[in-house]
Amino acid sequence: MGNSGSCSSGDGVALRSGAGDNVDGTRSSPAPQVPRKRARSSSPTKGRKRRAKVAEPLPQAESVTGKAPGGSRTNLKDYTEPARALLKNAMHRYEVRIDTLNTYPGTELQMQWVKEIWDEVCTEAEERMQLTERMADHKIRFSCSQRRGRLYKVLRKNLKLHQVLLNESGFHYKDTGARTGYAKNDIVMESMRVTWFKNKSARGVRFMQAFSPITLVTLALTFTAIKFCIEEYLTGCFQPGIFDEVENKKRYMVHLQDLTEWAALKPSITDIIRQQMHDKLRAATGAALVKPTGRMSEAGRTRALQELEAMNVDQEGVDSDEE
Residue 126 in domain: yes
Q: Report the percentage of the chain scoring pLDDT > 90.
A: 37
Shared domain for 222 and 264, answered yes or no, is yes
pLDDT at 168 over 60: no
pLDDT at 19 over 60: no
Shared domain for 88 and 182, answered yes or no, is no
pLDDT at 140 over 50: yes
Residue 9 in domain: no
Shared domain for 130 and 204, answered yes or no, is no
Number of domains in the chain: 2
Higher pLDDT, 211 or 246: 211
pLDDT of residue 2: 46
Shared domain for 142 and 280, answered yes or no, is no
Residue 24 in domain: no
Higher pLDDT, 303 or 95: 95
Question: Which of 150, 182, 208 is the last residue in one of the domains?
Answer: 150
Residue 67 in domain: no
Identity of residue 129: M
Q: Show the domain range for 180.
A: 162-322
Residue 42 in domain: no
Residue 209 in domain: yes
Higher pLDDT, 126 or 148: 126
Question: Which of 113, 129, 150 is the last residue in one of the domains?
Answer: 150
Shared domain for 225 and 109, answered yes or no, is no
Q: Is 12 exposed, middle or buried (0-12, 13-18, 19+ CB in 10 A)?
A: exposed
Question: Which of 150, 176, 210 is the last residue in one of the domains?
Answer: 150
Q: Residue 1: pLDDT band by 50, 70, 90 thresholds?
A: very low
Q: What is the pLDDT of residues 213-262, one digit of tens each?
A: 999 999 999 999 988 887 776 655 567 777 778 778 999 999 999 999 99
Q: Residue 316: pLDDT band by 50, 70, 90 thresholds?
A: very low
Shared domain for 233 and 166, answered yes or no, is yes
pLDDT of residue 59: 86
Shared domain for 137 and 219, answered yes or no, is no
- The structure's pTM equals 0.60
Higher pLDDT, 212 or 242: 212
